[in-house]
Structure 1
Amino acid sequence: MYRITKEFHFSASHQLSHLPADHQCARLHGHNYIVEVELAATDLDENGFVRDYHDLAPLKRYIDGSFDHRHLNDVLGHDRVTSECLARHFYAWCKERLPETSAVRVSETPKTWAEYRP
């Protein structure tokens, strides 16, 4: 199996208001997010690629236009905007456009990652 990954970055705020009031994530706060998309294939295409990295440009435009410097609760329309939720959201978006999508990871901090892989 061949695998490729590409990282995308954005900054945004969110609030997990369903958590207890004394939980730090219940307060409005922000992160510098990293989204890592993984694509996989058993065979390479005629150019020797799983997928040309240039084909991921629409994801960059989607992230920049809809997520960067936004309040994620408003973008996704609910109050449980966790890294896990974002990983699943970006996976679904990518899988619809890039069938080779095999996983998406999202980081809120340099030491934490959440992954969605069906």
Structure 2
Amino acid sequence: MIIYQHFTFDAAHFLPHVPQGHKCRNLHGHTYHLTLYITGEIMEKEGWILDFSDLKAIAQQVIGTLDHTLLNNIEGLSNPTAELLAKWIWQKLIPLLPGLKKIELKETPASGVVYNGD
């Protein structure tokens, strides 16, 4: 079974390696939408895979680092594309959430990335 929980955070960034004149080379911000998918067995006593409040507390350890920041200033995110940000989030969460199956990170309502550690 897979459970999921959705989070949002706001952050600014710029993409230093895109061509001159590209709009994303300029400083700009997004409201990111992050969905975490956790796989596991249903615990017999509790009746769930993971308490959603525990999942939220774990996720906030990482999201709190990103929220209302300039992503380029975070160690390991000097080129914070959606793809590299998703990978960074994954690497921070996987030790905390061993059942993490995949993440979905939306930079805009119509654009995003799905990452499963591959």
Name which of 28, 44, 49 aligns with 2:42. Answer: 44
SS of the aligned residue for 2:73 comes to: helix
Give me the whole-angstrom Cα distance separating, in 2, the residues matched to 1:110 and 1:54.
Answer: 26
Task: Report the TM-score, using the length of structure 1 for normalisation.
Answer: 0.89
Is structure 2 residue 93 aligned with structure 1 residue 63?
Answer: no
Superposition deviation, residue 68 in structure 1 = 1.0
Q: Which structure 2 residue ranges, 5 or more long, are not aligned? A: none
- How many percent identity over aligned positions? 32
Task: Report the TM-score, using the length of structure 2 for normalisation.
Answer: 0.89
What letter corresponds to residue 60 of structure 2 in structure 1?
K
Aligned to 2:91: 92
The worse-fitting range, judged by mean Cα deviation, of 27-36 and 55-64 is: 55-64
What letter corresponds to residue 7 of structure 2 in structure 1?
F
SS of the aligned residue for 1:76 comes to: coil
What letter corresponds to residue 44 of structure 1 in structure 2?
I
Conserved 8 A contact 1:18-1:79: no
What letter corresponds to residue 109 of structure 1 in structure 2?
T
Against the structure 1 CA distance between its residues 86 and 78, is the aligned structure 2 distance closer, same or farther, given a 3 Å change threshold? closer
Conserved 8 A contact 1:14-1:81: yes
SS of the aligned residue for 1:96 comes to: coil
Cα deviation, 1:31-80, whole Å, max 9, x if unaligned, reads 00111111012x2112121211111213124312x111100000134432
Against the structure 1 CA distance between its residues 96 and 77, is the aligned structure 2 distance closer, same or farther, given a 3 Å change threshold? closer
Aligned to 2:32: 33
